[in-house]
């Protein structure tokens, strides 16, 4: 079976710094993949290349057999390639319900007509309610974002991404900054994501990685150095060296 999504030979340099080196990777429908690696390994750059925030120096991004490398970020979202960001980008005066409603209407090309009339949209409210329920946000659906917990804001980012009906969802550190007591909520929400969705998650919280991922890819210095089962990753010599080297470097500059 051909993969839902693949990248071939993705390469990117900033000046003389090679940040992504010939990265090839495929994902199938329903896949749960974690992309890990030491700080500065090039994980966010990889996501930016996949979603069109950055243009690669070489290589291709292929979704459903279609080469989307030439498309911009908005066009890729329309095709089903959707991401969340490491830092939340929400409006603190709006509620979760308003954020998700606006996104659904935007996806349908109707957002410009409804500004100021959020609650009357019964034709999308079932979908909005279902998305908020999936992420465990129904109870705060009508609270202002500025008043809800940080972990709930991170979940709202994922809710907004779901409202775009992704085929491939890329999560950039969904648990970053979330208090440890709230990470089970994030984990639970990730488990509730639609089974057919292909999910790639960047995450530093290894407990979360091991519980979420069926496959792990390790990036170091812009290169894939490991691809395999979560149970195998910790024992891999190259992976240990990459993390240890990074740790030693951090100690030497501290």
Ligand X SMILES: Nc1ncnc2c1ncn2[C@@H]1O[C@H](COP(=O)(O)OP(=O)(O)OP(=O)(O)O)[C@@H](O)[C@H]1O
Task: Name the residues that contact ligand X, by CB under 6 A.
Answer: 14, 17, 19, 37, 39-45
Nearer to ligand X, 44 or 69 (CB): 44
How far the first Cα of the chain sits from its last, in Å, is 49
Output the CA torsion 42→75→92→84 (10° steps).
Answer: -30
Provide the minimum distance between the beta carbon of 35 and ligand X in the complex, in angstroms, as a whole number: 9
Smaller CB distance to ligand X: residue 165 or 204? 204
Which residues, in sequence order, are bridge partners of residue 195?
A: none
Least Å distance, CB 20 to ligand X, is 8
CB of 205 to ligand X, least distance (A): 12
Which residue, 127 or 173, is less far from ligand X as judged by CB? 173
Residue 95 C-beta: closest distance to ligand X, Å = 30
Choose between 48 and 95: whose C-beta lies nearer to ligand X: 48
Judged by beta carbon, residue 41 or residue 239, the one nearer ligand X is: 41
| Closer to ligand X by Cβ: residue 14 or 91 | 14
> How large is the angle between the packed helices 96-107 and 122-134, nearest 10 degrees?
120
In whole angstroms, the minimum distance from the beta carbon of 19 to ligand X comes to: 4
* 8 A C-beta contact, residue 159 and residue 137: yes
**What distance in Å separates the CA atoms of residue 221 and residue 161, rounded to the nearest whole number?**
29
What does the DSSP assignment read for 18-75? EEEEEEEEEE-TT-EEEEE-STTSSHHHHHHHHHTSS--SEEEEEETTEE-TTS-HHH
Element (H, E) at 238: helix 237-253
**Residue 72 CB, nearest distance to ligand X (Å)?**
17
């Amino acid at each position: 079976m051909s993969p839902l999504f693949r990248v071939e030979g993705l390469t990117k340099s900033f000046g003389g710094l090679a940040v992504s080196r010939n990265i090839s990777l495929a994902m199938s429908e329903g896949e749960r993949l974690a992309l890990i690696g030491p700080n500065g390994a090039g994980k966010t750059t990889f996501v930016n290349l996949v979603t069109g925030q950055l243009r690669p120096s070489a290589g291709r991004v292929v979704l459903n057999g279609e080469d989307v490398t030439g498309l911009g970020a908005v066009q890729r979202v329309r095709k089903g390639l959707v991401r969340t960001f490491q830092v939340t980008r929400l409006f603190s005066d709006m509620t979760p319900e308003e954020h998700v409603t606006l996104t659904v209407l935007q996806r349908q090309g109707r957002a410009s007509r409804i500004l100021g009339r959020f609650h009357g949209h019964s034709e999308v409210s079932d979908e909005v309610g279902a998305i908020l329920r999936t992420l465990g946000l129904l109870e705060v659906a009508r609270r202002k974002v500025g008043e809800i917990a940080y972990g709930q804001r991170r979940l709202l980012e994922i809710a907004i991404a779901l409202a775009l009906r992704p085929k491939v969802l890329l999560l950039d550190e969904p648990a970053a900054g979330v208090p440890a007591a709230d990470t089970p909520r994030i984990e639970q929400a990730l488990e509730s994501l639609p089974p057919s969705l292909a999910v790639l998650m960047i995450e530093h919280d290894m407990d979360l990685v091991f519980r979420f991922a069926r496959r792990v890819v390790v990036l170091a210095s812009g290169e894939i150095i490991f691809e395999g089962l979560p149970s195998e990753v910790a024992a891999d010599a190259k992976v240990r060296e990459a993390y240890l080297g990074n740790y030693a470097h951090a100690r030497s500059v501290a």
